[in-house]
């Protein structure tokens, strides 16, 4: 029986899987918040053979209403239909990747786990690691093999809404994946209000990576998250819009610390209501 990859997969492991006829579903999630079309252009210029493109705004997020954050979760039924259109079937290995240190691939990983699909992994090191391992890129447009909407299973990834989080402040352990300057409220390039959720601790998502763009070893990640005293079942992950928080969720899962929750609306939703408290510093 073929091994299922559920957190990370190395470039060498992916090459071996493809060579064995494993036929994973490949999703290129490259994106740029400053230029939303850049990732799709990059995919068109060169992507892993057989990879489809998953667009953060169009595919990995739902409609915005001004109060639900910059990247709200998609409707589960709609996302199940999209997953089927990509060719996802029960048990099929999915590998997601990007060229930005898994910033956006981690979101796709989380969403597919949320849908109930277990065999989904992020390509460790992304496009650069694939090329370094001798892989090639192609520019041909891939034709998906559509399937019926994916059969939804109970969400494997818990979430929490703003009201529940507000009621739990002081009891829940909130971990913010944004950089220090944004967390402290010194700068805020994307949202209307600067600062953070009161009581939150900071764990910059890029701290999960080594200099080569690959994730740190699982033992190192485990040690670092445990040093934060993050109680797995009572930790809530958030960031600016619910995207890079998934990077911390992936890192914890890879370290054997699965079970914590995502606050999907994150800071962009939290700060849209002036009644919610804000901390700085």
**Paired tokens of 142:** 């891939």
Q: Residue 196's pLDDT is what?
A: 98
Angle at which helices 245-254 and 218-227 cross, to 10°: 120
What confidence category does residue 1 fall into, taking pLDDT thresholds of 50, 70 and 90?
very low
Q: How confident is the model at residue 204 (pLDDT cuts 50, 70, 90)?
A: very high
Distance, in Å, from the CA atom of 124 to the CA atom of 102, rounded to the nearest integer, reads 8
What is the spatial distance between Cα 110 and Cα 190, in angstroms, rounded to a whole number? 23
The Cα–Cα gap between 197 and 69 comes to 14
Q: Report the pLDDT value the prediction gives residue 194, as an integer from 0 to 100.
A: 97
Catalytic residue among 29, 214, 239, 271: 239
Residue with tokens 């819009």: 241
Cβ neighbours for 61, distance < 8 A, ≥ 6 positions apart: 71, 72, 73, 74
Tell me the mean pLDDT in the region 37-51.
Answer: 97
Query: pLDDT category, 22, cuts 50, 70, 90?
Result: confident
> In the chain, where are the structural domains located?
8-132, 162-270
281 vs 263: CA distance, rounded Å: 21
As its CATH architecture, domain 8-132 has 3-Layer(aba) Sandwich (3.40)
The pLDDT assigned to 182 comes to 97
Domains 8-132 and 162-270 share a fold: yes
Residue 243 in tokens: 């995207």
Structure tokens at 53: 């493109």
239 is catalytic: yes
* DSSP bridge pairs for 261: 236
Task: Specify the pLDDT at position 230.
Answer: 67
Can you tell me the distance from the alpha carbon of 157 to that of 266, in angstroms, rounded to the nearest whole number?
16
- Per-residue pLDDT of 263-277, as tens digits, reads 999 999 999 999 999
Note the pLDDT of residue 91: 93
Mean pLDDT of the chain: 95
Residue 64 CA to residue 71 CA, distance in Å, equals: 7
* CATH tag, 162-270: 3.40.250.10
> What local confidence, expressed as pLDDT, does residue 152 receive?
80
Summarize pLDDT for 107-161 with one digit per residue, the tens: 999 999 999 999 999 999 999 999 999 999 999 988 899 999 999 888 889 999 9
pLDDT band at 32 (very low <50, low <70, confident <90, very high): very high
């Amino acid at each position: 029986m073929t091994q299922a990859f559920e957190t990370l997969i190395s470039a060498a492991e992916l090459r071996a899987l493809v060579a064995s006829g494993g036929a994973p579903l490949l999703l290129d999630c490259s994106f740029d918040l400053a230029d939303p079309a850049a990732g799709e252009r990059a995919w068109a210029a060169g992507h892993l053979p057989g990879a489809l493109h998953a667009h953060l705004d169009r595919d990995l997020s739902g409609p915005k209403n001004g109060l639900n954050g910059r990247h709200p979760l998609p409707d589960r039924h709609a996302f199940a239909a999209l997953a089927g259109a990509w060719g996802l079937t029960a048990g099929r290995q999915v590998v997601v990747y990007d060229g930005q240190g898994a910033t956006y691939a981690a979101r796709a990983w989380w969403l597919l786990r949320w849908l109930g699909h277990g065999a989904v992994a992020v390509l460790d090191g992304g496009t650069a690691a694939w090329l370094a391992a001798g892989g090639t890129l192609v520019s041909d447009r891939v034709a998906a093999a559509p399937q019926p909407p994916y059969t939804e299973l109970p969400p494997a990834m818990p979430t929490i809404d703003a009201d529940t989080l507000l009621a739990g402040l002081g009891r829940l352990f909130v971990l913010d994946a944004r950089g220090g300057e944004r967390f402290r409220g010194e700068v805020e390039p994307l949202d209307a209000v600067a600062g953070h959720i009161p009581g939150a601790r900071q764990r910059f998502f890029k701290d999960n990576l080594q200099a080569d763009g690959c994730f740190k070893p699982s033992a190192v990640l485990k040690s670092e998250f445990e040093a934060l005293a993050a109680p797995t079942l009572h930790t809530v992950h958030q960031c600016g819009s619910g995207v890079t928080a998934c990077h911390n969720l992936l890192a914890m899962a890879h370290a054997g610390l699965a079970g914590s929750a995502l606050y999907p609306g994150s800071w962009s939703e939290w700060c849209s209501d002036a009644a919610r408290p804000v901390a700085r510093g």
